[in-house]
Structure 1
Amino acid sequence: GRSAGQMACREFPRIKEVRAYVTEAPDQKQHVQGADCHDVGDQHWINGNLPLGEGASAELLPIANPMSVHPQYKRHRKSWGINAIGSMVVEVEAEDGTCGAGVSIGGEAGCYIVENHLSRFCEGQDPRNIELMWDQMFRATINYGRKGLPVQALSAVDLALWDLLGKLRREPVYMLLGGATKAILPMYTTCSRPDIGKKLGFVGCKIPCPYGPADGPEGMRKNVEYCQQARELVGEGFPLMLDCYMALTVPYSITLARRLAEPDLHFTWMEEFLPPDEY
């Protein structure tokens, strides 16, 4: 039989250092792509919304967002600074040199929170104690946190911790969380061209919502028309969803949801239709 010493858990290197960085384009004239999902070209649907279908006009439609109520910021998300806070990358290094990495939105401000506050709850810790570290970071930011930037910074650290633990145990993180549950994961796409998404083999498409309550009944009519065009492009049986990006109100959401649920449209769901403060 094995001795008690042989049965003991192996030693894990402690966390040595937590570092945070911002991403930066080699050429500042270029847009930073990838993780900086908000810092994209003017033609990208995140910033504006291209009309549906082949041969459509190049004119941009609006895209509903929390600032749509203010005309000067209605047209493009970047006009009100959606890209002002860029991405951040967090590295958590163990004593043996193994590094875990996590990415979130947070920019320089998020990096400051990580290095000057959150790092103390990780450095010197056993990297397996992720739940303990998360609880301490969450509780410690109560006087300025609970949503927004502090939670985004915490998220990057949390992701880096899981990445580190997976590397130390030499297995993917999904195995740490209980293992695979299926052989294939169906994926939908988010874009303004559901017809292209269908051709590429995605199982569904989430399209951006162009208009919000500030556009009145005419905006509601145009939203329904837009969704009808999307349904005509992909036909029946292909799941369609609507991305509302916190732009709607409760009454507006209910009215739109009821219309989208009708058989001629048959949308699967609406995403993020209210600001978080209204839930």
Structure 2
Amino acid sequence: MKITDVRAIQPVGENSPADWRTSLGQILVAIDTDSGITGYGVGGGGLAGMHVVKTVLRDLLLGRNPDEISHLWDEMYQATLAFGRKGIAIMAISGVDLALWDLRGKHEQQPIVSLLGGIPGAKIPTYRTVWDPQDLQSTTDHAGYKLHLGKVAAPDQRELMISSVEEARSSIGPDPLLMVDAWMKWDVESTIAISQQIASSRIEWIEEPLSPDDLAGYRLLKEQSAVPIAGGEHEFTSAAFSQLIEEQLHLVLQPDVCWCGGLTELIKIYTMANEAGLRVCPHRGCEIWALHAIAALDPDPLAETGRPWMTWVSGQPEVKQGTIELSDRPGFGLLFDEQSLSLVY
């Protein structure tokens, strides 16, 4: 089997979030082969990511054996090293890598979860991400909930955050997990202070309180935060995660498989984290691209569900009564009708 074409498109979904970044948003990568099989994957980087796929990566992949996934990943990384390593180039590689894995599964007539040693059909518990604690009053099915919090600009805002966390815990009761997400908007001092005040609400983790570049700050939080720190959503490649794991700067690692380098890198991150006794909880875990790895590689699986945007994809598993399960369809198990998609080329 040989690769005959590599395509990248940016679908426009009917229910995509209003704040979704069209210029740097998700892209769909399609890899065609001479056997008639097409593999699909999702990456990032928007129009810029599409350009990387359709030029550098396509030129490298044409005529190659798609089953040599690890070797091809190394070649793609080297080919983009001078302008890549993080960000758009790795996001583009992520989409290609996922499409290669989809091809492998379809060629072998196996779902990805089976290729990774797991079993289709296992029920994976989920947690729901919300932006307002009042949204929690209408939902009780999930194993946990994550509340987005804003920027700490004044003492009264800090008190409002703490009240929101307490309201969230009161809404969901004592049993479900409760997490908070700062989305890189806090500093070390604020994080330590807030962690001490919300710890009594039994918070599972504080997610991304600092910039991913502030490793010195995360070293301080490792020693002083009253709540475990999670992060990695905006980190790239297993090489970068290796430092986070070695220093245990995040007790919960949250790679995004569509950004961090694809399934090839996510597998490496899981291996390192499991050996170090750290938890992996991929960003947007209920999306199909990470769900197979969660089902197969995670000793304590938990998948995040948030805002649906891939309305141009059919065959995605649904969350039912707080759990989600994979089908036994080959590859990632998704179905695409390219003729009906609204696309930006």
TM-score, scaled to structure 1? 0.70
Are the equivalent residues in 2 in contact too, given 1:23–1:86 (CA < 8 A)? no
Aligned to 2:144: 204
SS state at 1:188 partner: strand
Q: 1:154 aligns with which of 73, 93, 100?
A: 93
SS state at 1:237 partner: coil
Q: Any residues of structure 2 matched to 1:90-109 within 5 Å, and which?
A: 90-109=29-48
CA distance in 1, matches of 2:74, 2:41: 18
Are the equivalent residues in 1 in contact too, given 2:148–2:182 (CA < 8 A)? yes
**Residues 98-157 of structure 1: CA deviation (Å, up to 9, x unaligned):** 001111332221110001011233222222211111111122212111221111111111
Q: Any residues of structure 2 matched to 1:207-246 within 5 Å, and which?
A: 207-210=147-150, 212-213=151-152, 215-246=153-184
Amino acid at match of 2:196: R
CA distance in 2, matches of 1:181, 1:261: 37
Are the equivalent residues in 1 in contact too, given 2:113–2:120 (CA < 8 A)? no
Aligned to 1:259: 197
Superposition deviation, residue 231 in structure 1: 1.0
Superposition deviation, residue 83 in structure 1: 4.4
Alpha carbon RMSD of aligned pairs, Å? 2.0
SS state at 1:163 partner: helix
CA distance in 2, matches of 1:275, 1:106: 19
CA distance in 1, matches of 2:126, 2:136: 13
CA distance in 2, matches of 1:216, 1:84: 33
Aligned to 2:310: none
Aligned to 2:8: 20
Aligned to 2:28: 89
Superposition deviation, residue 181 in structure 1: 9.0
CA distance in 1, matches of 2:89, 2:139: 35
TM superposition outliers: structure 1 runs of 4+ over 6 Å:
none
Amino acid at match of 1:92: I
Question: Percentage identity across aligned positions?
Answer: 32
Amino acid at match of 1:221: E
Are the equivalent residues in 1 in contact too, given 2:177–2:203 (CA < 8 A)? yes
CA 1:93–1:82 in 2, change beyond 3 Å: closer, same or farther?
A: closer
Unmatched segments (≥5 aa) in structure 2: 216-345
Count of residue correspondences = 212
Q: Any residues of structure 2 matched to 1:122-137 within 5 Å, and which?
A: 122-137=61-76
Are the equivalent residues in 2 in contact too, given 1:197–1:204 (CA < 8 A)? no
CA distance in 2, matches of 1:82, 1:17: 27
Q: 1:185 aligns with which of 90, 103, 124?
A: 124
**Higher relative contact order, structure no. (Cα contacts within 8 Å, ≥ 6 residues apart):** 2
Are the equivalent residues in 1 in contact too, given 2:43–2:93 (CA < 8 A)? no
Are the equivalent residues in 2 in contact too, given 1:245–1:272 (CA < 8 A)? yes
Q: 1:111 aligns with which of 46, 50, 65?
A: 50
TM-score, scaled to structure 2? 0.58
CA 1:182–1:260 in 2, change beyond 3 Å: closer, same or farther?
A: farther
SS state at 1:146 partner: coil
CA 1:83–1:232 in 2, change beyond 3 Å: closer, same or farther?
A: farther
Aligned to 2:136: 194
Are the equivalent residues in 2 in contact too, given 1:189–1:197 (CA < 8 A)? no
Amino acid at match of 1:202: H
Q: 1:168 aligns with which of 79, 95, 107?
A: 107
Superposition deviation, residue 239 in structure 1: 0.9
**Residues 50-105 of structure 1: CA deviation (Å, up to 9, x unaligned):** xxxxxxxxxxxxxxxxxxxxxxxxxxxx4xx8444232110011111100111133
Q: Any residues of structure 2 matched to 1:34-49 within 5 Å, and which?
A: 36=16, 39-40=17-18
SS state at 2:154 partner: helix
CA distance in 1, matches of 2:58, 2:156: 51
SS state at 1:252 partner: helix
Unmatched segments (≥5 aa) in structure 1: 1-12, 26-31, 41-77
